Amino acid sequence: MRRRAVVGLLLGALPASRALAGAQQYEPLAAGVQAAMHAAVADIGAPQPRFASDAARSHWLAAMSERLAGRLGDPAERHDFLLRAYYEAQRAGLDPQLVLGLIHVESAFRRYAISSAGARGFMQVMPFWTRLLGDGDAGRLFDTSINLRYGCTILRHYLDREAGVLFRALGRYNGSLGRPEYPNAVLSAWKRWAYTPPVSPTAR
């Protein structure tokens, strides 16, 4: 119980997302990159995350749902959100805990958050991405699956562009490349959302 209380305090101590609000900057994409990203965001379907076992899935969902209880009050909504966040992170080759940390800093898990720059939703995606990669309907960025798909695809793009250097990729994601505040906040949140799987009795 004490550990859960400490985790809650740590998460509550993170800086407010508004204080670090930024926005991805529009930069022309090479045709091949744009086509690949368009394909990556096009196929939105039911999330099918891969876990090591049914027990691993249940444990992760229970642990994360408990942490989110104060932010997403409805258990069914939390379950759906977590499955989609895990799936989209996994699909993009990202750590799900990193994605949760980024969402915590960007929107504090507010589905309908809008920044002063116009970034939208959980992962604070700028509307210009819908024109580059989709049908141009920025309103769809409030759809959980679409927002997570765009956000994870964009972060993956910036990671590839920065040769895997996460600190710089996060700076690009926030539109604050060269400044440490935002990358440090997300990296701190990532640590605080850390997850340790239970030890299997057979592994002892």
Which tokens belong to 55? Answer: 């027990």
Residue 137 is part of a domain; what is its CATH number? 1.10.530.10
Residue-range definition of the domain harbouring residue 127:
34-39+51-194
Domain contains 118: yes
Domain contains 134: yes
More confident residue, 66 or 14: 66
Domain contains 26: no
pLDDT tens digits for 57-106? 999 999 999 999 999 989 999 999 999 999 999 999 999 999 999 999 99
Spatial separation of the C-alpha atoms in residues 126 and 30, rounded to whole Å: 19
Domain contains 95: yes
pLDDT tens digits for 138-161? 999 999 999 999 999 999 999 999
Radius of gyration of the chain (CA): 17
Query: How confident is the model at residue 19, as a pLDDT?
Result: 45
pLDDT at residue 16 is higher than 90 = no
Query: How confident is the model at residue 109, as a pLDDT?
Result: 97
Domain contains 10: no
pLDDT tens digits for 18-71? 446 567 788 778 888 888 888 888 877 778 899 999 999 999 999 999 999 999
Mean pLDDT (whole number) for 117-145: 94
pLDDT at residue 7 is higher than 60 = no
Domain contains 103: yes
Query: How confident is the model at residue 35, as a pLDDT?
Result: 87
pLDDT at residue 11 is higher than 80 = no
Domain contains 163: yes
Query: How confident is the model at residue 8, as a pLDDT?
Result: 39
Query: How confident is the model at residue 21, as a pLDDT?
Result: 57
pLDDT at residue 204 is higher than 80 = no
More confident residue, 196 or 43: 196
Total domains present in the chain: 1
Query: How confident is the model at residue 3, as a pLDDT?
Result: 39
Domain contains 4: no
Query: How confident is the model at residue 66, as a pLDDT?
Result: 95
Query: How confident is the model at residue 1, as a pLDDT?
Result: 38
